[in-house]
Amino acid sequence: MAGTMLQPLYKSLASLEPEPQLIDYASARAGFSWAAARAELAGLPDGGLNIAWEAVDRQVNEGRGDALALIWLGKTGERREISYAELARASNRFANLLERSGLGKGDRVCVLAGRVPELLVTALGSLKAGAVFCPLFSAFGPDPIRVRLAKSQARLLVTTALLYQRKVQALRGDLPELERVLLTDGGGETGADSFHALLEAEADHRPAPRTRPEDSALLHFTSGTTGTPKGALHVHEAVVAHRLTGRLVLDLRPGDRYWCTADPGWVTGVSYGIIAPLANGATLVMDEAEFDARRWYAILERERVNVWYTAPTAVRMLMKAGADAARSHDFGALRFMASVGEPLNPEGVLWAQAVFGQPFHDTWWQTETGAIMIANYRSQEVRPGSMGRPLPGIEAAIVRRRPDGGADRLGPDQEGELALRAAWPSLFRAYLHDEARYRQCFADGWYLSGDLATHDADGYFWFVGRSDDVIKTSGHLIGPFEVESALLEHPAVAEAGVIGIPDPVAGEIIKAFVALKPDHAPSERLRKELIGFARTRLGPAVAPRELDFVDDLPKTRSGKIMRRLLRARELGLPAGDLSTLEGADEANA
């Protein structure tokens, strides 16, 4: 990808905007220490640390209790405001309830709900009580729910009456460890209690938490893009990295209106949908409704969103909806826009520049890393197609694993596995019930990400592909992202997924699956045109040899293209773990 360097993009900084939180990258790196980042936190007596305390109570204790922690937008037009003081009290009640129920240190509390305020209260209250918070995506069907509840050994679940009746009630017999179920909007159901009635009965104050930095805090299941989802365990110390990246990367400051569109069922929706913004005193905007381009533009304008964190799949959907939908809106409050989860196609960065007058800033991280590791910063040039540069405090490199279990560092423009020097505060501490797999992630002091990338001489990292998705054709190693991005530059293409299929001569040949924009229809002519278009951009060795039109690409519920499923379907192989496939179990959702 380093070859596709386009013009650097800057946002023209309006004079009223505050200076970026990170101005000089080189000196921020040189002068960085994790101890200093840690010292920015309030902390607890005797060296204790608690994520929820840093996120909420700290703000209240420092005089920001009346500031808004949350603006909640309901599906049906409702709008609620919740202050930091109210959130502190509600989460105290939840923590008190857990204690009264005999739950505490290390016990798992799961949530299965849409984007509702009770989710925040449960997350923060669980953390205060020393329990481990584990979100489950609300559109999961009964089977993925059962597997995750069983794997996490959840003792308590917060959900809604509808989700309980449809998906959980029948599983209770298989889940002996699940003692209690609380319903955010009911309570008459067999085996479940009312969340609100129980919280009402609890005191809204409690002593400071007693958690230690290395106590377990969060359990996140990965997206399942490459296989069966893994449970990654994080500790309270992670909040050092949440707060730091919220400030340095997302450029957050107290009072900012901040919208993270990720669902809290995934790591982004918790680390950056809840913790990082609250730990920086920002106001969360949380929208209960599903994606809708017009609704999103209206929210950005009406709520005067300053900082917006979204995903490439959403960017592609906005592009598909057309620039007209955005035209009548005033995005004057928007100061910073960022994206995560998948490679951000250069086309998306450039489109944003035209529609919003500023680029999306790509950021890279994983469930395992717990926080943003590589980013494009507000004060720096954006190189479209690049993930940016490592966070101050993070050493990133491209390495090649050796057969003896070690890892060798590679130089600029050499393709290899993206690795990070261990350790940092938000690095995961375990894969649940899979110590061997956890150990395989480390070599010679590096954490190995499983993603392939390169870096250029200026230290910008360029994503190539997941090691599982990379295509080997006629002696070349090709990342699907590069091919997909080239196809996306064609005006008819809305989305593209690219895989390798076995070929006796070339090893693998490249095949593309393309979904068209609404006003374009598949035809043999267009198929040839797209292959030709890719050839002129990429050269014959890298361009797809075959191309099929599809209505939609298979995606994970967090919006990532599932290339392994495209491959399995193409080759008639078993589909593998489909628990996180978007649209699966929709009848039950």
**Given candidates 135, 186, 229, 269, which one binds ligand ATP under the rule CB under 6 A?**
229
- Could you say whether residue 223 binds ligand ATP (CB under 6 A)? yes
**The only residue of 21, 92, 222, 579 in contact with ligand ATP, by rule CB under 6 A:** 222
CA distance 46 to 375: 34
Whether cis (ω within 30° of 0) applies to the bond prior to 423 is: yes
Q: Which stretch binds ligand ATP (CB under 6 A): 33-41, 255-263, 324-332, 362-370?
A: 362-370
Closest approach of ligand ATP to the CB of residue 207, in Å: 35
**Residues in touch with Mg ion (CB under 5 A):** 222
Binder among 184, 226, 313, 473 for ligand ATP (CB under 6 A): 226
485 near ligand ATP, judged by CB under 6 A: no
Question: Rounded to whole angstroms, how far apart are CA atoms 251 and 240?
Answer: 16
Is the CB of 222 or the CB of 313 nearer to Mg ion? 222
What token pair was written down for 280?
Answer: 């920086």
Query: Which partner in Mg ion, ligand ATP, none is near 466 (CB below 5 to 8 A by kind)?
Result: ligand ATP
Say which DSSP state 579 is in.
T
- The H or E element containing residue 7 is none
Cβ-based neighbour number of residue 525 at 10 Å: 8
The option from Mg ion, ligand ATP, none interacting with 364 (CB < 5 to 8 A, set by class) reads ligand ATP
- Contacted entry of ligand ATP, Mg ion, none for residue 560, CB cut-off 5 to 8 Å set by kind: ligand ATP
**Nearer Cβ to ligand ATP, position 225 or 280?**
225
- Strand order in 180-183's β-sheet? 193-194, 180-183, 156-159, 108-112, 132-136, 216-221, 231-235, 430-431
Read off the tokens for 84.
């930091």
CA–CA gap between residue 140 and residue 483 (Å, rounded): 31
CA 360 vs CA 248, 347, 354, 382, 458: distances in Å: 16, 11, 11, 8, 20
Shortest distance in whole angstroms from residue 362 CB to ligand ATP: 5
Binding window for ligand ATP (CB under 6 A); candidates: 95-103, 337-345, 502-510, 521-529? 337-345
Does residue 367 bind ligand ATP (CB under 6 A)?
yes
Smallest distance from Mg ion to CB 317, Å: 23
CB 42 within 8 A of CB 61: yes
Which residues between 272 and 331 bind ligand ATP (CB under 6 A)?
none
DSSP code at position 263: -
- Which amino acid does the sequence have at 131? A
506 to 565, contacts with ligand ATP by CB under 6 A? 558, 560
- Under 8 Å CB-to-CB from 201, ≥6 apart: which residues? none
- Work out whether 340 is an interface residue with ligand ATP (CB under 6 A): yes
Tokens 């993270």: give the residue.
Answer: 260
Q: Distance between CA atoms of 378 and 12, rounded to whole angstroms?
A: 11
Interaction of residue 342 with ligand ATP, rule CB under 6 A? yes
Q: Cα 386–240–333 angle (5° rounding)? A: 55
The minimum distance between CB 560 and ligand ATP, in angstroms, equals 5
Q: Is 463 in the site for ligand ATP (CB under 6 A)?
A: yes
225 binds ligand ATP (CB under 6 A): yes
Name the binder of 342 from ligand ATP, Mg ion, none, CB < 5-8 A by kind. Answer: ligand ATP
Q: Smallest gap, in angstroms, from Cβ of residue 222 to Mg ion?
A: 5
C-alpha count within 13 angstroms, C-beta hemisphere, residue 468: 13
Q: Which is nearer to Mg ion, 74 or 450 (CB)?
A: 450
Q: Which member of 107, 362, 495, 508 binds ligand ATP (CB under 6 A)? A: 362
- 387 part of the interface to ligand ATP, by CB under 6 A: yes
Tell me, what DSSP letter sits at residue 167? Answer: I
Binding residues vs ligand ATP (CB under 6 A): 222-227, 229-230, 267, 340-344, 362-364, 366-367, 387, 449, 451, 463, 466, 558, 560
